[in-house]
Amino acid sequence: MTDFFKGISYNLKGLALGLRTPKLLMLGLLRFVILLLITIAAAALILINYQEIMNLMWNQPQSAWIAWLWHLLSWLLALLLTAIAAVIGFLVTQVLFSVLIMDYMSQIVERRQTGTVQSPPDVSFFKHFFFLLRQEIPRAVLPILISLVLLLLGWFTPLGPALTVVTPLAAVVFLAWDNTDLVPARRLLPFGVRFQLMRRRLAFHLGFGLLFLIPFFNLLLISFAPVGATLYIIEQETPVPAAAPSPG
């Protein structure tokens, strides 16, 4: 339970540091704006054409007794497509933009805490960028796939009530890992090794990601999450000094 509450604490600690540090504040707001713009653009593109999508599935009936059902399904389809657009916007933002913004925020925090940024020598910018890009794809796609599998199991098996709780918790664990993985990925550790590191710190990731379930506030937290996650990783790597022997 200690690691769980530590996860909540580091998420808030990272947000506080990000808001009072000019460079981190600028980068966090930049990430937030990019995410917002891409999500709005994707949602607008889908919603403009959702009526045609509905008509492909079911033409509007002439009978007033059935038309109300058509309109209800039409609004439900609009909500579903908006949610899909938000997911697509998040994935596009993560893979194409956030991989650099998040890594740069993490570097600022690591340099601030330790005085330097540990990374393999003689690695060019492009090699580093494409390595991070390859790592971001499974980190961004994996939570979506697992959430979809759990959602389908909830629909078609008796496990629905339990999976209703498990599905969002699994998603926030992976969202938290997307941030704590920045430092190990920058050091070019293999994907399997980094995944095992996440599994050993599962309680921390659950606590760190739990706050992402708060509507609207989660957008701000996600924007600055690399800060708190890097603070935690750096602390885990820093040995605790031994207590001085008591006199006498």
Per-residue pLDDT of 83-110, as tens digits, reads 677 667 776 776 666 677 888 899 999 9
Mean pLDDT (the chain) is 78
Burial of 188 (0-12, 13-18, 19+ CB in 10 A): middle
Please state the domain extents for the chain.
2-60+67-232
User: The tokens of 76 are what?
Assistant: 């439900």
Top-confidence residue, 42 or 103: 103
Using alpha carbons, select from 13, 14, 16, 9 the residue that is nearest to residue 204. Answer: 9
Using alpha carbons, select from 116, 128, 99 the residue that is nearest to residue 186. Answer: 128
Segment 176-204 mean pLDDT: 88
Residue 117 makes CB contacts below 8 A (sequence gap 6+) with: 107, 110, 111, 186
Please report, for residues 193, 222, 223, the alpha-carbon distance to residue 96 in angstroms, rounded to integers and kept in the order given.
24, 16, 15
User: What is the pLDDT at residue 116?
Assistant: 86
* Confidence grade of residue 73 (pLDDT, cut at 50, 70, 90): confident
Residue 131 makes CB contacts below 8 A (sequence gap 6+) with: 185, 188
Whole-structure pTM over 0.75, yes or no? no
